[in-house]
Structure 1
Amino acid sequence: MNEAPPSTFLPGLAPAPPPSLLLASLSRLDLLAAPKSTLVDLRPSVYAYATSLAQESGGATNAADAFETSFARVWLEKVLALGSRALARGADDTDEWEEAVDRAARLLADMAGPSAQGSMVKTYLLPHAAHWPTSALAYPTPPTTRPGSTVPFAPRASPAVSWSDVAEQALALTIRDGTLLEASTGHRTWGSASILSHLLAANPSRFFPPRPGSPSRDPLRVLELGSGTGLVGLTAAAVLSREGPARAEVVLSDGGDEPEAVLSNLRDNVAANSARLSPDVHVRVERLDWRDYLLSAGESVASPTSSNAPPHAERFDLLLGTDLVYERDQAVLLHAAAAGLLRFPSASLNPAPTFWLALPIRPTHAQENAQVAALFPPAASAPPAAAPELQRTDPATRRTYRLVALEREELVGPSGFAATGAVRGRASAMGELRYCVVRIGWQEVAA
């Protein structure tokens, strides 16, 4: 890192230096510790990115980073104490001490982590799949230190293809993150969103296979559940604008705690990226309450003409969702919404309607993850009849289905809490998590 660490440029505080010197040092520390605009490069595989970070900094560097972070925090706390005493004495003719106190307090809040930070605008760079020479791509062999079940979630270039060549083309999306204190979890872009967004951009044919038929056919309908800041839905819209079907409709939805604040930020993010989208790809934001899709006792499917029909009686070809289950019984609501919104199979639909779900594998959420696995079980060669609340009947064909996991992949990637509390080096603040990406679809069950 070219920037000098804080211990080499922060001035001593005994005796107290003039506030003008402190303000200059605070400006330098602000640029180093808490940038308000961040570039997030999701073009290479996150697996390779995390590996390169580990190689670039060993234990000594990690220890140095921890020291520098601690040094900066202690220095800021002392500045607050000095400034408070100066203000109490009335020794602030130029208002410089008041400004120093305010900036030191904001820096300490920024270094405390995302829940205490102010809003941040991030530019996400996503791979341009059309420029990836697929014949020269290969998966790296996981090192012996990683479990055998984990694989990188994106290919890396062989020696014949450099990352600099690949990186010349990219999708760029601008996303504003708020804070956990500003509204709810919907104001943060979580790690699973980065994972699925990378996958969508790096391998679009996996998620948006070519649709046979004339350009006049119905548009591809895509819904992101629990969009939050909208990174995944906007990635889908950008990829479809670049190389998708002639027409597509992408709906970004949310309805959690304080939904109006989340939806307002979501609309702003859509507007900020509208120039990157094709006129044939229509994007809109809607409030969606999953509770509207819970079935009443003895009800197999809500009829579009019934008085208690949910807001979206029309269904979608593709559902996308990330980091959607973090409390007990949220999985039940998620299942109800997915079952009420995913289009039923049909001979005229190709590809089959699909729900892609990405979740972190956190030990603290083992029960929630187990509940997801139970509600979306692996597909069976001879599926038994499911519990009534898990079944849905297509009114058009009278066939009964349940949602099952058709494919499950475990991946390793950044936790999404990178570098907010570090003031030197990146690896010490770059946490890793394991994620699962599940492809969910309908399977017919016995009546």
Structure 2
Amino acid sequence: MLPPSARLPPIKRIAAHPPASLNDALQYLSLIYSPPVRGTRRRRAPTSSSVNVSTSTSEEPGADELRTDAFERAYAIKWLTALVSTLGDEQEGAPGSAASAHAHLVETAAALLAACAGTSAAGVVTRTLIFPAAGAPVRIALTDAPLDNADYASVGAQTWGGACVMSEMIAEDPGAFGLGRTAPAGGAPLRLLELGAGTGLVSLVLAALASRATAPVEIVATDYYPSVLANLARNVRANYPSSPPPIITTVPLDWAAFPGTPHAQRPCALQAPFDVVFGADIVYEAPHAAWLRDCLATLLRRPAATSISASDPTPAPVFHLIIPLRATHAAESRTVEQVFARTAPPGTGGSGDDDAAMALVIEDMQTLVCTTETPGEEVTYAYYRIGWGPAAEV
């Protein structure tokens, strides 16, 4: 890739360039300072009307070097500032179509200015992700912290494709994920939990949609590693800078240790069970599925012994899990099927009314195929709905 100082139209001639040329320049800067997340463009039926605006592609060669070049970053900021100033002045007297084109360019440039300003020599990446939703799109500002070479687990401070795919699904159909219910009189808030939250994208999308609903919602975003938790809290503050009560609580959670921790010693936010739990791209080592099951045994609310009436607004407790089907982690992916045995057929595996016979089981599994802008390249995800049911006989 050419550096911005060589690739962008001259600052003094910005006004002379057509909108299409300026838009190309902005897209080029996006590849450097707001790189898209790979593997998030779901393959859809031709009749689908929704648009996945979280574009995905492999990072351009040389982008990382340019991103950490202080001179080129300063030049990009100067160029974007000039574009906003120039088009902002011209927008007032422009005809309708031209004014609209200028407004789009100014909005894109302003978002890139924030991304450039947040990009440090350490490799921090800021981006704005937009998800189509009823009423208005959900817009999330996100920061990916640089990888810590001394701690492989710091990958949690990066945004992964599974979180983008899950976030888009939630934005498209909030009701399928427990949101959008009517508030019961004096009812308890809907409690939502994200496991392995990473940059917090899923929790932030849930919060944005919950703020549009009438029913009270509590969201708890968890992770384990200090560097990831610090970046998670930073992203929450960036999107919700107002004072308490916070819409999202961030809490450390060690999956391996949590089940054996006495109830009184657990964080207050984790002492009551949750109605819906979310996990995106969080199974990448052999023990993870078993650790998750043992945590969910107390974290996911158990359904009432009697059937819930259709008028009850409380959703059935469920764990939504998305994992990529990577060839390099095939064994780890298979552990999900092994640990969360599928629901037993009727008449086998125990009675659903017998609490002792209930287990966390796979209720449904779908395969999601995502394309990238690299010809012929695909990323495949498995989406599981896991809930309480009669365990299959082994």
Is residue 249 of structure 1 aligned with residue 218 of structure 2?
Answer: yes
Q: Per-residue displacement from partner, 1:90-138 (whole Å, max 9, x unpaired)?
A: xxxxxxxx969xx9xxxxxxxxxxxx971111101011124xxxxxxxx
1:174 correspondence with 2:144 = no
Deviations 1:225-280 (A, max 9, x none): 0000000111111111123x52000001001xxx22111111111111116x9999
**C-alpha separation between the residues in 2 aligned to 1:446 and 1:195?**
30
How many Å apart are 1:357 and its aligned residue? 0.3
Instruction: Call closer, same or farther: CA 1:411–1:117 in 2, change over 3 Å.
Output: farther
Contact 1:316 1:342 (8 Å CA) reproduced = yes
Secondary structure in 1 matching 2:374: helix
Following superposition, the deviation at residue 187 of structure 1 comes to: 0.8
After TM superposition, list the pairs within 5 Å mapping 1:108-127 onto structure 2: 118-127=123-132
Give the equivalent residue in structure 1 for 2:171: 201
What percent identity do the matched residue pairs reach? 31
* Alpha-carbon separation, structure 1, partners of 2:215 and 2:246: 8
| Alpha-carbon distance in structure 2 between the residues aligned to 1:35 and 1:323 | 25
Check conservation: 2:361, 2:389, Cα contact below 8 A: yes
The alignment's C-alpha RMSD in Å is: 4.5
After superposition, the Cα gap between the structure-2 partners of 1:170 and 1:356, relative to the gap in structure 1 and judged at 3 Å, is same
- Structure 1 alignment gaps of length 5 or more: 11-22, 51-61, 78-97, 104-115, 131-168, 296-301, 387-392, 416-426
Cα deviation 1:361-390 (Å, max 9, x = unaligned): 11111111111111112211245369xxxx
* Corresponding letter in the other structure for 1:175: L
Question: What CA distance in whole angstroms lies between the structure 1 residues aligned with 2:127 and 2:205?
Answer: 14
Count of residues in Structure 1 that have an aligned counterpart in Structure 2: 306
Conserved in 2, the CA contact under 8 Å of 1:303 and 1:309? no
State which of 42, 46, 58 in structure 1 corresponds to 2:42: 46
The yes-or-no answer on 1:343 pairing with 2:308 is no
Equivalent residues of 1:413, 1:434 under 8 A apart: yes
Secondary structure of the structure 2 residue equivalent to 1:216: coil
Is 1:289 the counterpart of 2:254 in the alignment? yes
In structure 2, the partner of 1:162 is none
- Aligned 8 A contact 1:241 1:281 in 2: no
Distance 1:367 1:32 in 2: 39
- The amino acid across from 2:333 in the alignment is N
Match of 1:238 in 2: 208
Q: Specify which of 383, 386, 389 is matched with residue 437 of structure 1.
A: 383
Equivalent residue for 1:228? 198
Once residues 335 and 363 of structure 2 are traced to their aligned partners in structure 1, the CA distance between those partners, rounded to angstroms, is: 17
Q: Partners of 2:273 and 2:216 in 1: how far apart?
A: 17
Give the structure 2 partner of residue 328 of structure 1: 286
**Distance in 2 between residues matched to 1:240 and 1:310, nearest whole Å:** 22
CA contact (8 A) 1:248 1:280 kept: no
Give the distance between the partners of 2:175 and 2:36, measured in 1 at CA.
Answer: 26
Does the CA-based 8 Å contact 1:247-1:280 persist in structure 2? no
Return the alpha-carbon distance in structure 1 between the equivalents of residues 341 and 218 of structure 2: 29
Check the 8 A contact 1:40/1:123 in 2, yes or no: no
Higher relative contact order (CA 8 A, sep 6+): 1
* Helix, strand or coil at the partner of 1:358: strand
Kindly tell me: are residues 278 and 213 of structure 1, through their superposed partners in 2, closer, same or farther at Cα, counting changes over 3 Å? farther
TM-score calculated relative to the size of structure 1? 0.58
Please tell me whether the aligned partners of residues 39 and 125 of structure 1 are also in contact (alpha carbons under 8 angstroms): no
Instruction: Output the CA distance in 1 between the equivalents of 2:331 and 2:383.
Output: 18
Partner of 2:332 in structure 1? 368
Partners of 1:177 and 1:253 lie apart in 2 by 16
Deviation larger for 427-436 or 365-374: 427-436
Inter-partner Cα distance in structure 2 for 1:278 and 1:204: 26
Amino acid at match of 1:288: L
**211 and 35 in structure 1: CA distance in 2 versus 1, 3 angstrom threshold:** same
**1:308-330 superposed Cα distances (whole Å, 9 cap, x missing partner):** 99983321001000111111212
Alpha-carbon distance in 1 for matches of 2:380, 2:217? 32
SS in 1 for 2:141: strand
How far residue 180 of structure 1 moved from its aligned partner, in angstroms, is 2.7
TM-score by length of 2: 0.65
Q: 1:290 to 1:370 in 2, by over 3 A?
A: same
Mapping of 1:149-164 within 5 angstroms? Answer: none
* Amino acid corresponding to residue 276 of structure 2 in structure 1: L
Which amino acid in the other structure matches residue 287 of structure 1? P
> What amino acid is the match of 1:273?
N
- Does residue 315 (structure 1) correspond to residue 280 (structure 2)? The answer is no
Please tell me whether Structure 1 or Structure 2 has the larger radius of gyration of its CA atoms. 1
Contact 1:123 1:174 in 2 (8 A): yes
Distance in 2 of aligned mates of 1:282 and 1:310: 16
Choose 434-443 or 23-32, whichever is displaced more: 23-32
Contact 1:319 1:356 in 2 (8 A): yes
Secondary structure at the aligned position of 1:180 is classed as coil
Give the Cα–Cα distance (whole angstroms) in 2 for the partners of residues 325 and 268 of structure 1. 24
Residue 292 of structure 1, CA deviation: 2.6
Report what 1:25 is aligned to.
6
Decide whether the 8 Å contact of 2:142 with 2:201 is kept in 1: yes
Q: Is the 8 A contact 1:39 1:123 kept in 2?
A: no
Give me the whole-angstrom Cα distance separating, in 2, the residues matched to 1:218 and 1:399. 26
Deviation at 1:398, TM superposition (A): 5.5
Residue 272 in structure 1 maps to residue 235 in structure 2: no
For residue 413 of structure 1, report the CA deviation from its aligned partner: 1.7
- Is 1:262 equivalent to 2:214 in the alignment? no
Residue aligned with 1:172, SS:
strand
Tell me how far apart the structure 2 counterparts of residues 40 and 367 of structure 1 sit (CA, whole Å): 25
Q: Does 1:406 align with 2:363?
A: yes
Contact persistence 1:358–1:436 (CA under 8 A): yes
Deviations 1:398-441 (A, max 9, x none): 544210111111111257xxxxxxxxxxx338953011111110
Partners of 1:409 and 1:438 within 8 A in 2: yes
Give me the whole-angstrom Cα distance separating, in 1, the residues matched to 2:128 and 2:244: 22
